[in-house]
Structures are given as structure tokens and as C-alpha cells.
Amino acid sequence: MGKRVLIVEDDELVGDHLAELLREQLACVPLVARASGEGLSLADGVDFGILDIEVSDGVTFPLAAKLRERGIPFAFVSARDPAKLPPEFASTPYLRKPVSAPQLLAVARAHL
């Protein structure tokens, strides 16, 4: 069984595309959540997280903090200005949307 990757993305097409990319290229098992709260419920046992910052139920910073507490690496994939990240996430990998497949795969490979 492949590594489990949590994807929190409220745009269904983007979330499905990321999931397919990870499944096909890295043999991962993607768990796609459309909201931060849903992501929290799926976070147990994941190996890596890909988080959009602004989703339908707010921002994913509380989820990011939980992942960090559990020692689970993650990256932000967002159109939001990276300079507006809270200081505690300044060193978190950040990919600006639209993210290219090679960029996303490189970050995922580095943490899986």
C-alpha cells in the first residue's frame, strides 16, 4: 500500500487533479478533503499533507498546526501571498497556484 497523502482543496477539479497526479506518479493513496474540518477528520495516519490555505470553512492554519504537532510534513499550495503566512509557518514549503506537476512532485518526493 502506498503512502497516504491528505489533500485539502475546495476546488473539486484541482483536488481531483492533485489526487490523480500523486496516485499515478508516486503510487500514493490520496485522501481529498474540501474543507479544513474534513481534513482534520482524515489526518490520522497520513504521511504528508498538501493544504490550500483558504478553503470553504476558513483557513487551514489550525489543521497545519495539528499536522506539525503530529510530526506530519506538509506543504501549502495556494494563490495567497506567501508573505502573509503566520510566522510559525514561514519555513513550510509553499507552492504558488497554479502549481506545476514537477514542482508538486518534487516537494512530495522530498517528504515521502
The 3-state DSSP class for residue 14 equals: helix
Q: Is 24 exposed, middle or buried (0-12, 13-18, 19+ CB in 10 A)?
A: exposed
pLDDT digits (tens, 9 = 90+) for 47-81: 999 999 999 999 999 999 999 999 999 999 999 98
- Helices marked H in the chain — which ranges? 12-26, 36-42, 61-69, 101-111
pTM of the model: 0.96
How many Cβ atoms sit within 10 Å of the Cβ of residue 60?
27
Kindly report the CATH number that applies to the domain delimited by 4-111. 3.40.50.2300
Average pLDDT, the chain: 95
Q: In this structure, are residues 66 and 6 in contact, taking their beta carbons and an 8 Å threshold? A: no
Spell out the domain ranges in the chain: 4-111
